[in-house]
């Protein structure tokens, strides 16, 4: 907590933007004392009369005491309260001297807002009174008059708000820029725990900051501080849970503003490299929160065109490092698979898919990851696997949802009763005929990408039946312009026999939901070992056919030979199953 005090003394002595930036980069590197030692030292000095109250405050020891009563540690708060009690006693013995009356008012202002013994006060309140304890000793300070008036007019501090936020942030004084930066620094320094973040959210401070961020009045130092505050607000677990339940609409509005800034002003972003990752982090967090909401609640979503713009922006930033590339890909993959993927311009889709595959390959092969993720993220599958699942789901959902009316109750009921890939294929073909839909020219791009990712993953692929289903939809539909449609005409019975041995893809289940972290599991669809083996055989046979279709080889296809199956590990897997029985 002592770093807050160090910040306070810096703010008093230097208002320059350069020093501010340097301070925030180096504050964690500062050599600091144990606050418990300082508090005990303060108690001893005050009780023995070794130090005058005004000198005590000028050295920053009063600021340390204020900050300590915002600590989650009960013993530290008790020490802090004892320091404040002894300081108040010492102050009452002082003759009328310059600064004494203001410090008395400050103690009364804080004391009147405390309702319980040893109460933990919000960090932002602690930082404010700590700052005030220093600047009230200097009548020439720019903020001396404003804070003095607050102490004289207010009966006590409101623990549920940020003191003087609007007065300083929207200051009309000649020092308006200094006023704004001062309150932004307070916001940043005062954001330590989840309840601090909720104070910001409940007082609509985040919306205020972002509205200003997007305005022409905002300068680069303000922009960086604003994004640091916003990023910290939504990063804590408790805050995320609270936002998920009560304030996703606010966060969605904030993220929409950030998205517009991110894709709309690449030149500005290039000048502020660290802001790029911060914006992508916020977008990813918002999508993650939205993903956890119930289906009937409002959600934050990005269209496929919007996701393409994110790819363009990330690509436009050039050599900004793998961190930006990874956050960009994670933002895309945190979004729900777009059902409008078939409507995408083929050239744009090709660029998008190639960039996503290249990024996933590069990052999955990098051992020295740039960041540390939570336990939930550490157990997830690779980015290549996520990308495969995302593209696969986009194809399946895209073919199921040609029009909004396809989501009516009859359609959902039909989907619930589909058991095999054959019945699923017939259902899709029926819907396409009813809606007079044909191919869009993206089939080969998507099929090649899905097949390539599947081959790269090999036995680590977690969604083989779904990937095979997506490939069949792309290559063997009546409306496909690829060689697979010709093969369907000549070998319809062969394909049908293989499709009946494969389950209907999980993505066709109306209960299916996209998850960034791991594949959705249908707990009601357990297969016997024999059925699983049969499904694997059918999938591998189809993959051989698909490889030839994509390679534009002869259409005289064969199902897998004994050697082919042995190479792909199916028989080895069968033997391991039998040995365990």
- pLDDT tens for 330-370 read 999 999 999 888 888 888 899 999 989 998 988 887 644 43
- Residue among 523, 522, 521, 519 at smallest CA distance from 333: 519
Residue 189's φ and ψ, nearest 5 degrees, are -70, -30
pLDDT digits (tens, 9 = 90+) for 475-523: 887 655 565 666 666 777 888 889 899 988 988 888 888 989 888 887 6
State the pLDDT at residue 544. Answer: 87
Helices (H), 69-143: 74-92, 100-111, 123-135
Residue 71's φ and ψ, nearest 5 degrees, are -75, 145
Give the model's confidence band at 578: pLDDT under 50 very low, under 70 low, under 90 confident, else very high.
Answer: very low
Question: Residue 531: which residues within 8 A CB-CB, separation 6 or more?
Answer: none
251 occurs within a structural domain: no
Instruction: Give the range of the structural domain holding residue 568, as residue numbers without chain letter.
Output: 385-580
Q: Is the pLDDT of residue 201 over 70?
A: yes
- Residue among 70, 74, 164 at smallest CA distance from 123: 70
Query: Other CB atoms closer than 10 Å to residue 438's CB: what's the count?
Result: 12
State the pLDDT at residue 375. Answer: 40
Instruction: Judge whether 58 and 137 are in contact, CB under 8 Å.
Output: yes
pTM greater than the 0.75 cutoff: no
State the pLDDT at residue 271. Answer: 65
Q: Which of 161-170, 203-212, 249-258, 547-556 has the highest mean pLDDT?
A: 161-170
431 occurs within a structural domain: yes
373 occurs within a structural domain: no
Count of domains observed in the chain = 1
State the pLDDT at residue 110. Answer: 96
Please name the residue that has the structure tokens 């073909």. 429
pLDDT digits (tens, 9 = 90+) for 407-433: 555 556 667 678 888 988 888 877 666
Instruction: Judge whether 198 and 159 are in contact, CB under 8 Å.
Output: no
466 occurs within a structural domain: yes
453 occurs within a structural domain: yes
pLDDT digits (tens, 9 = 90+) for 107-140: 999 999 999 999 999 999 999 999 999 999 999 9
The secondary structure of 345-384, three-state, reads: CHHHHHHHHHHHHHHHHHHHCCCCCCCCCCHHHHCCCCHH
156 occurs within a structural domain: no
Sign of CA dihedral 569, 574, 579, 581: positive
- Measure the CA–CA gap between 432 and 430, rounded to whole angstroms: 5
2 occurs within a structural domain: no
DSSP state of 507: G
State the pLDDT at residue 33. Answer: 58
149 occurs within a structural domain: no
- Measure the CA–CA gap between 53 and 70, rounded to whole angstroms: 22
Report in angstroms the alpha-carbon separations of 545 from 357, 421, 534, 548, 556: 23, 16, 17, 5, 9
């Amino acid at each position: 907590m002592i770093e807050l005090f160090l910040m306070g003394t810096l703010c008093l002595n230097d208002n320059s933007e350069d020093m501010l930036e340097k301070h925030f980069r180096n504050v964690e590197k500062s050599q600091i004392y144990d606050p418990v030692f300082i508090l005990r030292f303060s108690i001893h000095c005050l009780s023995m009369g070794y130090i005058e109250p005004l000198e005590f405050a000028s050295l920053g020891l009063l600021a340390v005491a204020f900050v300590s009563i915002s600590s989650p540690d009960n013993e530290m708060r008790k020490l802090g309260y004892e320091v404040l009690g002894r300081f108040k006693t010492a102050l009452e013995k002082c003759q009328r001297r310059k600064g004494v009356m203001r410090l008395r008012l400050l103690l009364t202002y804080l004391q009147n807002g405390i309702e319980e013994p040893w109460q933990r006060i919000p960090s932002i309140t602690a930082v404010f009174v700590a700052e005030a304890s220093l600047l009230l000793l200097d009548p020439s300070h720019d903020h001396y008059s404003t804070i003095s008036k607050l102490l004289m007019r207010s009966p006590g501090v409101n623990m549920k708000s940020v003191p003087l936020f609007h007065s300083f942030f929207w200051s009309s004084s000649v020092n308006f820029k200094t006023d704004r930066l001062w309150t932004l620094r307070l916001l940043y320094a005062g954001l330590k725990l989840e309840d601090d973040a909720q104070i910001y959210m409940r007082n609509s401070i985040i919306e205020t900051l972002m509205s200003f961020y997007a305005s022409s009045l905002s300068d680069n130092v303000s922009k960086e501080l604003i994004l640091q505050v916003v990023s910290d607000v939504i990063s804590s677990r408790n805050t995320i849970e609270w936002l998920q339940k009560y304030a996703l609409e606010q966060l969605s509005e904030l993220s929409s503003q950030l998205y517009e800034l991110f894709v709309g002003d690449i030149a500005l972003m290039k000048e502020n490299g660290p802001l790029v990752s911060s914006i992508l982090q916020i977008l990813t967090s918002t999508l993650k929160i939205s993903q956890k909401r119930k289906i009937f609640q409002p959600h934050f979503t990005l269209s496929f065109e919007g996701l393409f713009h994110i790819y363009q922006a990330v690509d436009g930033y050039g050599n900004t490092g793998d961190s930006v590339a990874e956050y960009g890909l994670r933002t895309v993959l945190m979004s729900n698979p777009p059902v409008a993927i078939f409507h995408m311009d083929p050239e744009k889709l090709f660029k998008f898919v190639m960039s996503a595959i290249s990024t996933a390959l590069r990052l999955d092969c990098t051992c020295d990851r740039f960041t540390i993720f939570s336990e939930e993220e550490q157990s997830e599958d690779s980015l290549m696997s996520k990308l495969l699942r995302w593209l696969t789901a986009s194809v399946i959902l895209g073919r199921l949802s040609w029009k909004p009316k396809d989501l009516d109750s009859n359609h959902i009921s039909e989907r619930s009763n589909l058991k095999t890939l054959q019945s699923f294929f017939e259902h899709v073909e029926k819907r396409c005929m009813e809606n007079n839909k044909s191919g869009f020219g993206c089939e080969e791009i998507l099929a090649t990408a899905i097949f390539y990712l599947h081959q790269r993953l090999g036995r680590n692929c977690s969604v083989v039946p779904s990937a095979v289903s997506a490939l069949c939809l792309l290559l063997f539909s009546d409306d496909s312009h690829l060689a697979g449609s010709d093969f369907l005409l000549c070998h319809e019975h062969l394909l049908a026999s293989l499709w009946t041995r494969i389950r209907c893809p999980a993505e066709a289940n109306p209960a299916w939901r996209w998850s960034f972290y791991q594949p959705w599991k249908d707990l009601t669809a357990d297969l016997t070992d024999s059925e699983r083996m049969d499904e694997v055989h059918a999938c591998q046979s189809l993959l051989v056919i698909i490889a030839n279709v994509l390679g534009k080889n002869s259409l005289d296809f064969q199902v897998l030979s004994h050697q082919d199956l042995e190479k792909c590990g199916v028989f080895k897997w069968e033997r391991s199953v039998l040995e365990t029985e």
